[in-house]
Amino acid sequence: MLSAARRQRALIDSLYASGALCDRRLAAAFRAVPRHFFVPLHGAVTTSGSPLDADRAPERWLDAAYADEPIVVQIDDGDPERAEGVPTSSCSAPGVVARMLEAARLRDGHRVLEVGTGTGWNAALLAARLGDDRVVSVEIDPGVLEGARAALVRAGRTPRTVRGDGEFGYPEGAPYDRVIATCAATRVPRAWIRQTVEGGLVVLPWTAMEGAGVLARLTVHGDGAASGPFLGGLGFMPLRSQRPGPPAPPPPEAEPDETRLLHGPDPIEPLTRFPTAFAVTVAVRRWRMGLRPAPGGTGRQLWLASRDGGSWARVLPAGPAWRAEQAGPRSLWDEVEDAQEEWRALGGPSPERYGLTVAPDGRHRVWLDTPDGPGWDQEEE
């Protein structure tokens, strides 16, 4: 039976080997803070839904604690009557945590605001790297915060933990050198930028549409703007105030205003690949998409819907070809086709070539290669 310490060493070695962890001071923090202190003994589940129980299956529980995988610690905000089965809090995958903390470029003396305490592991790592008195962590859920505080005590860490809505930051502790969000945002809250010193960084998972997120590192400027690059794909649970509504695919019986045949390769497949899907979500405004079985079990169909519910489209098999149907004031499938064509004309850039600028008035603009390069304004939700 491998001890927790040996599992921890093996995990850190793997993070080094993958390139997720490079900074030696940060690596020392990972060594100083055992992850299993922050995994509940009972009630947590793997991302596949398998339950974890430290008493009944201690080996399996410890294996999960030191795997490079997230562990779900709360479903449906802890409300058993909701029964939706939606994960709402987790202990993030170690590789993802390392990537985010490396992206923050932490230095001795930095003061950090963490938005989303979760299990407390990330706050403990920050405290081990910078000092307990240099870290403030805000959590909106009282039950999650209670568990995090208990875990921090077990780990011997005492960062300041505050119950509150992280969208508003924590002005009492401002200004901060770094704001690190462990929840995804479509609109970067103005408070995060205002509470960061000029030249400081706001590090967050940013998303134009659920399911197509990236890690953003924004530098705060003296005029109240913030701008910076995307650092690759990254998925996180959304900031509670920015949770999207439930998906609303068009009903199967909905009649289209327009139907046309599509010849050539599978038009759905490109949108299942992250680089294409990301580029399209940036360029097409206020929409969502999903997959469901095609009628008669003949494969899959793609559905698209505007967020206001007034327009929809679907693409489904039609013998050797495909059929595109759309209805409403917007021709959503046309917009998606145009966005893909634009992306191909730009050379099919990867998400890492994009970045984000948040203007002093809160306007968001995604750009390619440089802030002055080709760009796409992001509408308010």
Rounded (10°) angle between helices 24-32 and 94-103: 140
Distance CA 340, CA 338 (A): 5
343-372: b or e for each residue (b if 16 or more CB lie within 10 Å)? beeeeeeebebbbbbbeeeeebebbbeeee
In the sheet with 226-233, reading across from the earlier edge strand, the strands are 160-163, 135-139, 112-115, 176-181, 196-207, 213-220, 226-233, 354-358, 364-368, 375-378
Reference 332, options 312, 316, 357, 348; nearest CA is: 312
92 is catalytic: yes
- In the chain, alpha helices (H): 4-18, 24-32, 58-65, 94-103, 121-130, 142-155, 190-194, 274-283, 332-345
From 92, 227, 306, 311, the catalytic residue: 92
In terms of C-beta density within 10 A (0-12 exposed, 13-18 middle, 19 or more buried), how is residue 194 classed?
middle
CA distances from 230 to 94, 147, 219, 340 (A): 20, 32, 12, 20
In terms of C-beta density within 10 A (0-12 exposed, 13-18 middle, 19 or more buried), how is residue 171 classed?
exposed
Specify the 3-state DSSP secondary structure of 309: coil
The catalytic residue positions are 92
